Structure 1
Amino acid sequence: MPIGSILLGIALAVLVTPFVAAPFVKRPRRKEPAQEQRRSALQARPDALLALRDLDFDFRTGKIAEEDYSPLRGRLVAEAAAALQAEAASQSDLDAEIEAAVRAAREKKRDGSACPKCGATAHAGNKFCPNCGATLAASCPKCHGAIKTGDKFCAHCGALLKLESVPAS
């Protein structure tokens, strides 16, 4: 076997080894605790209801005695109720997070306008897009609605426009 083939084989083995060993060496990524908590809260209710259904079935088929059935059923009903309350609390927390994200996005949009050509965010008062250099349309300082050259009032909110806020063409 020629030396070139041996060196090529060794080089290939050296290059491939990290890719083959990576799954064994790499630690799994940790999920965020809030996501894990939400996922466990969402899974607890179906698990409790399934256990309750199985308990009722076992009681009807005669596998469980009456004295065992009553306390088990009470405990499972309490678990299902707690899971339902935890799910509702988790849902309200999720709703609050979504509302906060929407509010932040709206505030960000209010702070600047988007370029009609490239979509980049431009700060209020910019006449040209910082990304592509396109001319930005003038906007109302109050509602950020588009205004035309020569407008004295905003067509959207009716605010009085200052002469310097509307560029002359």
Structure 2
Amino acid sequence: MQADRLLGPEVSDVDGNREDRRGTISVFNGPVPVIRTFADIAGEVAAVTQWLLARIAEGMPPHEIGIFVRSDAELSRAQAAVQAAALPYHVLDDTVEITAGIASLCTMHLAKGLEFRAIAMMACDDEIIPLQSRIESVADKADLDEVYSTERHLLYVACTRARDHLMVTCVDPGSEFLEDLQR
């Protein structure tokens, strides 16, 4: 996945801060995402549970696993998956403290600066990413373009936190941004 293709040389984060990415070279190539679409939340949770169990079976410690969602409203989906996998977990807050032996759940907003060997990016449904309420709150085309740009950037940054494994899931219909990840 190439950052310039998704973000362009200059990007804004969700707080409106601008960064210039020209001349930036990553020494890491992220994993190819496994993108799965499900008919319902139960199917998504079951699949993420199996994916988590596979990571543990490979010998991955729980603290090297992150489960991300767009906002607090979707955290229950992530909690259901880790509970079904019987993984110890905690929900990260603004202190963003990782605890040895415990999987981390958080919103995409807290993902910047973190790194995990494996990440499950859940609830990438249409109207969740981009968040429908943000789209409905804009008055003109320039603002709408900015919302789409920051929402796409939010998903991209969260996905780039995965070092070895990345699973992206949604309930049908999925986010229009998932097409960007498949190229």
TM-score over 0.5 for the pair:
no
Q: Which has the larger radius of gyration?
A: 1
TM-score tier after normalising by the smaller chain length? under 0.3
TM-score, structure 2 as length reference: 0.21
Q: Which has the higher helix share?
A: 1
Q: Which has the higher strand share?
A: 2
